[in-house]
Chains A and B, each alone.
Chain A
Amino acid sequence: MTHRFDLAEQGVRELNRALHAANGTARADAWHIVNPRGLHNVAVGLDCALDVTVEGHVGYYCAGMNQRARVTVLGNAGPGCAENMMSGLVRVKGSASQYAGATAHGGLLVIEGDASARCGISMKGVDIVVRGSIGHMSAFMAQSGRLVVCGDAGEALGDSIYEARLYVRGAVASLGADCIEKPMKDKHREELAQLLADAGIDDVDPDDFRRYGSARQLYNFKVDNADAY
């Protein structure tokens, strides 16, 4: 079943209430949301395998805390897109502002344009694939999950990173505290190839990427590391 929802006629509250009516069910309806006009909190708190397409730009926290749903934004996304996502797929056809995929625990976030600063901040298991480049302080305190960047990364990539794995194809402006380049082994090329395939990217060679992760030197406080803080 396909639904059409016009945000010029009804508000975000009515939209989310309508979408939440399917939460916890096995429904897989398609929803087309028109006239989003940069509104905040579009399609947040979904817990159902709906297929939601937002036809335009969205503001803050689009698809926040998503569970199971597929949300596609045919435009740009404001700050905190797919923040704390648990599962499902969020795809932004344009670019995303700051904190895309912040603290997300699972699912896949695909950004076909660029992502701004702090992409994947405190990520906790989500996979993020960015077709373009990402801004500074991305993957700050990233705990787990994978971040794939087909373009360049800004300054202080992976500062204070824990166990997340970062793959960057282009230039990295600088690495943050305790983030180092690590060797690409076969298993890494395999997981990277799978992530690119999941994101629908087939014109990029996994061999062109470098891998970054934690040096694990700041996991326990040592006096001699004081100047790293």
Chain B
Amino acid sequence: MPAKSKRKRRKGAAQPPVSPALRESASFPRAVIAEIQRAAASGIYDIRGFGAKRRVPCFDDLLFLGASMSRYPLEGYREKCDTAVTLGTRFASKPLELRIPITIAGMSFGALSGPAKEALGRGATLAGTSTTTGDGGMTPEEREHSALLVYQLLPSRYGMNPDDLRRADAIEVVVGQGAKPGGGGMLLGHKISDRVAAMRNLPKGIDQRSACRHPDWTGPDDLKIKIEELREITNWEKPVFIKIGAARSYYDTALAVKAGADVIVLDGMQGGTAATQDVFIEHVGIPTLPALRQAVEALRELDMHRKVQLVVSGGIRSGADVAKALAMGADAVSIGVGALIALGDNAPDFDAEYRALGSAAGFYDDWHEGRDPVGISTQDDALAARFDPIAGGRRLANYLNVLTLETQTLARACGKSRVHNLEPEDLVALTVEAAAMAKVPLAGTDWIPGQGSL
């Protein structure tokens, strides 16, 4: 990838102040102009990491009503508020038992450094939850540091093997990802180190573009047989998840149930990626909020809500997001970008180094370039060595604990002794859009757009 264009200004030449009469175009603001200039100079689309940056209706647009005259709240710190959840109760003989309803999303060794993957395992294990492998397979270090590890079956099948399948605690068939529903993985040449190349059985240094479709099934009917094969190989012990990017979520959820999923992982468009075309990240898929509501509707109609567990991801940042997702009917959430930030991604301490890369702390998204100064999204040994997996794991555990405490705070405020007892009735929407998408009433009204009158 060409480096982002950096115009050098001649030092010393005094610049006249920008006239307040200058008017920036709404259609062609400076960021749009810069992208056209970048495209014209390089001839290739912009590839980046992170998730969608545009503003979309989200959990911020919902509020909890809390308890008052007609409901009574629970005492914070004194009265128990259970957070445990079991994933995979439908068919698996060994379901995944989590202490908290927050899991770590799939992120590959390759996209992330070895120490960063280790830190994810350490942090999740401290907090009592699971991590997930990613494109490229399972590393022994990852298995060692993650008490509960979900092994992804991706279209590329890089590193896929029956020994790791048997070593896994759950299997996740990845159909799609919120950042790019319909897109395959991407790992550019500078991150294909010797070890990554060997794990993926590819030449070193190539631009690796994973397939977007699975090689040995094409639709829900043969996915059902594929899942049976995975169950047969592992003697029906492991929960089988199906991960889908948020698109036609009502139908996709119903088809995932039909295909035999124990757990459905639904990733909204705000969900992160290590490397995808910007145009794909910003323009394909729907936000987490409406996707979650559609998925829960499908599960309820099939009488499968809480029987097939629903894990939702894409833009989960706080305990408020977790609590709202659970209230709308999710069984758990999954975090990726938030976990990386907890590890140290975009830390202000590294601002000068981010600026040297043409970015700045708080903006860095060139995860595909492998030059991460923090040592997370890199395969450069010297950069990776900067990252302390023990301290990183502690930070992630802290963050997971905060998310859990915040979730409990909100649940107790609504009078729930279990976070999963939160329900849509506890929610109102701040905007008409969010009310329509979440199908909860606009605050102060009983109006849900599309259902009845004001």
In whole Å, how far is A139's beta carbon from the nearest beta carbon of chain B? 11
Chain A residues with CB under 8 A of B216: 61, 79-80, 83, 98-99, 102-103, 121
The answer to whether A61 touches B162, judged by C-beta atoms less than 8 angstroms apart, is no
The answer to whether B157 touches A124, judged by C-beta atoms less than 8 angstroms apart, is yes
> 4 tightest A-B contacts by CB?
A45-B233, A103-B157, A223-B43, A80-B216
For chain B, which range describes its interface: under 10, 10 to 19, 20 to 34, or 35 or more residues?
20 to 34
Bound-state Cα–Cα, A124 to B161, Å:
11
Interface string of B160-201 (1 = CB under 8 A from A): 111101000000000000000000000001000000000011
Bound-state Cα–Cα, A118 to B207, Å:
23
User: Could you tell me the dominant secondary structure of chain B's interface residues?
Assistant: loop
Q: A65-B233, A223-B44 are in contact. Are A41 and B215 (CB under 8 A)?
A: no
Chain A residues with CB under 8 A of B72: none
6 contacts between A and B (CB under 8 A): A45-B233, A61-B216, A124-B157, A162-B202, A162-B203, A221-B44
Q: A61-B225, A64-B229 are in contact. Are A219 and B156 (CB under 8 A)?
A: no
Interface string of B225-237 (1 = CB under 8 A from A): 1101100111110
In whole Å, how far is A183's beta carbon from the nearest beta carbon of chain B? 20
Bound-state Cα–Cα, A17 to B43, Å:
56
Chain A residues with CB under 8 A of B251: none
Indicate whether B363 reaches chain A with its CB closer than 8 angstroms. Answer: no
Chain B residues with CB under 8 A of A67: 162
The answer to whether B215 touches A103, judged by C-beta atoms less than 8 angstroms apart, is yes
Indicate whether A184 reaches chain B with its CB closer than 8 angstroms. Answer: no
Bound-state Cα–Cα, A111 to B189, Å:
36
Task: Identify which of B160, B162, B207, B235 gathers the most chain A CB atoms within 10 Å of its CB.
Answer: B162
Chain B residues with CB under 8 A of A99: 215-216
Instruction: Across the interface, name the chain B residue whose C-beta is closest to A67.
Output: B162
The answer to whether A122 touches B161, judged by C-beta atoms less than 8 angstroms apart, is no
Indicate whether A129 reaches chain B with its CB closer than 8 angstroms. Answer: no
Interface size on A, residues (CB 8 A): 41
In whole Å, how far is B238's beta carbon from the nearest beta carbon of chain A? 12
Task: Identify which of B200, B215, B228 gathers the most chain A CB atoms within 10 Å of its CB.
Answer: B215
Task: Identify which of A20, A83, A84, A223 gathers the most chain B CB atoms within 10 Å of its CB.
Answer: A84
In whole Å, how far is B156's beta carbon from the nearest beta carbon of chain A? 7
Indicate whether B222 reaches chain A with its CB closer than 8 angstroms. Answer: yes
Contact of A124 among B201, B205, B206, B233 (CB under 8 A): B201
The answer to whether B157 touches A122, judged by C-beta atoms less than 8 angstroms apart, is yes
The answer to whether A141 touches B207, judged by C-beta atoms less than 8 angstroms apart, is no
Indicate whether A182 reaches chain B with its CB closer than 8 angstroms. Answer: no
Indicate whether A86 reaches chain B with its CB closer than 8 angstroms. Answer: yes
Indicate whether A131 reaches chain B with its CB closer than 8 angstroms. Answer: no
In whole Å, how far is B45's beta carbon from the nearest beta carbon of chain A? 10
The answer to whether B206 touches A44, judged by C-beta atoms less than 8 angstroms apart, is no
Q: A20-B235, A64-B233, A143-B202 are in contact. Are A221 and B228 (CB under 8 A)?
A: no
Indicate whether A193 reaches chain B with its CB closer than 8 angstroms. Answer: no
The answer to whether B201 touches A65, judged by C-beta atoms less than 8 angstroms apart, is no
CB contact list, A145-163 vs B, under 8 A: 162-163
Contact of A219 among B207, B225, B235 (CB under 8 A): B207
Query: Given contacts A125-B201, A143-B202, A220-B205, could you give 18 more A-B pairs where the C-beta distance is less than 8 Å?
Result: A16-B232, A20-B235, A40-B228, A60-B225, A61-B216, A61-B225, A79-B216, A80-B229, A83-B215, A83-B216, A84-B157, A98-B216, A122-B157, A122-B215, A124-B201, A143-B201, A162-B202, A219-B207
Chain A residues with CB under 8 A of B42: 223
The answer to whether A86 touches B229, judged by C-beta atoms less than 8 angstroms apart, is no
In whole Å, how far is A19's beta carbon from the nearest beta carbon of chain B? 10
Bound-state Cα–Cα, A12 to B228, Å:
10
Chain A residues with CB under 8 A of B161: 65, 84, 86, 105
Chain B residues with CB under 8 A of A127: none
The answer to whether B201 touches A105, judged by C-beta atoms less than 8 angstroms apart, is yes
Bound-state Cα–Cα, A140 to B201, Å:
15
Bound-state Cα–Cα, A36 to B291, Å:
42
Chain B residues with CB under 8 A of A59: 225
The answer to whether B229 touches A61, judged by C-beta atoms less than 8 angstroms apart, is yes
Chain B residues with CB under 8 A of A32: none
Chain B residues with CB under 8 A of A13: 232, 236
Instruction: Across the interface, name the chain A residue whose C-beta is closest to B1.
Output: A221
Q: A12-B232, A83-B216, A221-B44 are in contact. Are A65 and B211 (CB under 8 A)?
A: no
Interface string of A43-58 (1 = CB under 8 A from B): 0110100000000000
Bound-state Cα–Cα, A169 to B215, Å:
25
The answer to whether A47 touches B162, judged by C-beta atoms less than 8 angstroms apart, is yes
Indicate whether A72 reaches chain B with its CB closer than 8 angstroms. Answer: no
In whole Å, how far is A123's beta carbon from the nearest beta carbon of chain B? 9
Bound-state Cα–Cα, A121 to B217, Å:
12
